[in-house]
Amino acid sequence: MTFILFVACYVLLDYAYFKIPVDLFANVIYYHGVVAVCADLVNWLAPLEHVLAKHNHLLSAKADLEIVRGCDGAGALFLVVSAVLVFPSGLKRKVLGLLFGIGLIYGINLLRICVLYFVIAYHPDWFQLIHTYVAPTLMVILGCFYFAWWAFGSTRQNHEPA
């Protein structure tokens, strides 16, 4: 039954995700939540890059990285959120699990996008491999490790010494 709830939760999140208008993603969510943050990070790490954030693009003289639906870490996020929501645990523990899990996936996704910027700028022949296989797989694996760590902490019994 838990697996069915997990799948239902994931499907519901995915369904809602695809109901969000594309313009809202490109011009508001991706710009403010991802692209502008990544531009600041890249410029902080490598000031000579002079990266600009424009709508859903990271732009420089060396690269134009477009962030689109499906390449934003949502799949890994929905896996973690669904797993935490259906796992038998108390409300406080679930809320903390969701907050830390969402923060972790968001942070990993920002790092992924910054890395993809440098890949497309300096090793464009690696982009397809890293973008399609390596980065998404790493995000899912890290999300699974996070969930396992969180779930293990949810089931541990605190025993006082006798």
Domain count, the chain: 1
Amino acid 26: pLDDT: 83
Task: Looking at 20-159, list the stretches that DSSP marks H as alpha helix, in order from N- to C-terminal side.
Answer: 22-24, 30, 36-45, 74-86, 91-122, 127-129, 135-155
Joined tokens for residue 131: 């973008």
Q: Do 86 and 9 meet the contact criterion of CB atoms below 8 Å apart?
A: yes
Mean pLDDT within 64-80: 92
Mean pLDDT within 69-83: 93
pTM: 0.90
Mean pLDDT within 55-62: 95
Q: Give the residue numbers spanning the domain of 54.
A: 2-155
Q: How confident is the model at residue 122 (pLDDT cuts 50, 70, 90)?
A: very high
Amino acid 85: pLDDT: 97
- Residue 72 CA to residue 44 CA, distance in Å, equals 22
Task: Judge whether 93 lies within some domain.
Answer: yes
Mean pLDDT within 127-154: 95
Asked if pLDDT for residue 72 goes beyond 90, the answer is: no
Task: Judge whether 162 lies within some domain.
Answer: no
Amino acid 161: pLDDT: 54
Task: Judge whether 26 lies within some domain.
Answer: yes
Task: Judge whether 110 lies within some domain.
Answer: yes
Task: Judge whether 160 lies within some domain.
Answer: no
Task: Judge whether 125 lies within some domain.
Answer: yes
Task: Judge whether 128 lies within some domain.
Answer: yes
Task: Judge whether 89 lies within some domain.
Answer: yes
Amino acid 51: pLDDT: 97
Q: Please, what is the average pLDDT of the chain? A: 93
